[in-house]
Amino acid sequence: MHRLLKRQLNQARNPDGSGVSYERLLKLVNDAYRENEANRARADRANEVMADELSEMLAIKERATSLETAKRVAESANLAKSQFIANMSHELRTPLNAIIGYTEMLIEEAVAEGRERQLSDHENILRSAQGLLRLINEVLDLSKIESGKLNIEIEEFHVGEVVFDAIADVRPAAAANGTELIVEIADSDMTLRSDPYRLSQCLRNLLSNAVKFTADGRVTLRVWREEQASGSFFNIVITDTGIGMSPEQLARVLSPFEQGDGSITRKYGGTGLGLTITQQIARLLGGDIIIESELNHGTSAKLMLRADLDRLRSAA
């Protein structure tokens, strides 16, 4: 016999043990029935709650799966875009290099034969072609950075050489703008383990900005090494006395294709890629850039790089 029923029958016995009272039995059975009903209702409610929770969990899982799929699709589209840009850049650069090479030859001939009017036309072609080549190279670099394919080649080199080469590059533009160039380097024999080509690219980007946005002013480049708890660092600060930036402009300019404002593009040209690329390269070289600026007073760009990169890499 069922244990519960047995207990109930025992409880329903008359106090003198002389059998079972019908009323008491009926009451006990009714009570048990009601309790049973209440239990069933509670179980039904619990089941409903569980079913709701389960379907909510399923919906969350479905959303996560579709997000994951969307992410994979976006990533592969991004990769396809980067590959397309890399291929296109190559196809564009080859004929452009031919245009530049032939124009340089035409310029030499025009100079030799004293053809002044043609000379300035040729120079215009050369400037435009070089500008286009710069843009293509920048877009290519950005797509390489985005797809994680920018090559970094670490070697030991003298910092002074890279710094003075970059300075020599912007000297004509600074002279044309009436701007003085000052280099403060305590020890130009100082060596560094990093990527000299990429360092040079960063320096040229920062220096060309400083010179481009400064007329009749001063551009100062200061170099020093710094030992920190996290390692050996190499700092370059380029300060100019040029047009500067408002806080709103400053907040934008490290994003790709962003320039201070629309008038900058009209007046100074450019694409707004230089600082983005510089920052990404600096990060790949174990550092970063920090830009500070005051509108109408000038700008200072600090480039910090690890000075001992191979150790960083092997430690990683």
Ligand X SMILES: Nc1ncnc2c1ncn2[C@@H]1O[C@H](COP(=O)(O)OP(=O)(O)O)[C@@H](O)[C@H]1O
Provide the binding-site residues for ligand X, judged by CB under 6 A: 205, 209-210, 213, 240, 242-245, 253, 259-260, 264, 270-276, 299
Q: What angle do CA 160, 285, 75 make, to 5 degrees?
A: 145
Residues 119 and 107: beta-carbon distance below 8 Å: yes
List 201, 209, 241, 299, residue binding Mg ion (CB under 5 A): 209
Check the CA dihedral 245-251-252-256 and report its sign. Answer: positive
Residues 210 and 219: beta-carbon distance below 8 Å: yes
What's the number of CA atoms in the CB half-sphere (13 Å) around residue 105?
5
Q: What is the closest distance, in whole angstroms, from the C-beta atom of residue 174 to ligand X in the complex?
A: 12
Q: What is the closest distance, in whole angstroms, from the C-beta atom of residue 222 to ligand X in the complex?
A: 15
Q: Which is nearer to Mg ion, 117 or 266 (CB)?
A: 266
Looking up tokens 């994979």, which residue turns up?
Answer: 72
Q: Which does 272 bind (CB under 5 to 8 A by kind): Mg ion, ligand X, none?
A: ligand X
Q: What is the closest distance, in whole angstroms, from the C-beta atom of residue 266 to ligand X in the complex?
A: 11
For Mg ion, which stretch binds (CB under 5 A), given 120-128, 129-137, 209-217, 246-254?
Answer: 209-217
Q: What is the closest distance, in whole angstroms, from the C-beta atom of residue 189 to ligand X in the complex?
A: 29
What x-and-dash track marks residues 262-281 binding Mg ion by CB under 5 A?
------------x-------
Report the SS3 class of residue 227: strand
Q: What is the closest distance, in whole angstroms, from the C-beta atom of residue 152 to ligand X in the complex?
A: 21
298 binds Mg ion (CB under 5 A): no
CA distance 77 to 71: 10
Looking up tokens 């946005």, which residue turns up?
Answer: 213
CA distance 223 to 232: 14
In the complex, the residues that contact Mg ion under the rule CB under 5 A are 209, 274
